Amino acid sequence: MQKIELENKPSLELFCPFCGVKVLAKDGIQKCEHIIFHANDYGFEYVKPGIGFDADVDLEDMSVDEYTDNLKIENTVKFAIYDPAPGSFGGYVGFQSR
């Protein structure tokens, strides 16, 4: 999975790279047909049905960030959004083209 890292800012908005729908804004996450998951460092909040794992996946000793980096799903990209230093909290949104 390709990974793009962004710094979390109060004004951050994220648009689907495939259809252009605003999926992340101050009021939360909106889904489009290309989102395959959204998660944070505590776990998965949404996983698209039929993608190959569910929101209760056993991560073993990996973080959500590491687990999603290693997903072998074709035509995907993950936006990793990290709080600026000294914070380290991350949020993750995965997309798949059709």
Mind giving me the DSSP string for 74-92?
A: TTEEEEEEEPPTT---EEE
The pTM of the full predicted model, rounded to 2 decimals, is 0.91
Report the run of H or E that residue 18 belongs to, with start and end.
none
Helix (H, G, I), strand (E, B) or coil at 40: strand
For residue range 52-97, list pLDDT tens digits in order. 888 898 998 999 999 999 999 999 999 999 998 888 899 999 999 9
- In this predicted structure, the answer to whether residue 29 has a pLDDT above a threshold of 90 is no
Report d(CA 85, CA 77) in Å as an integer: 24
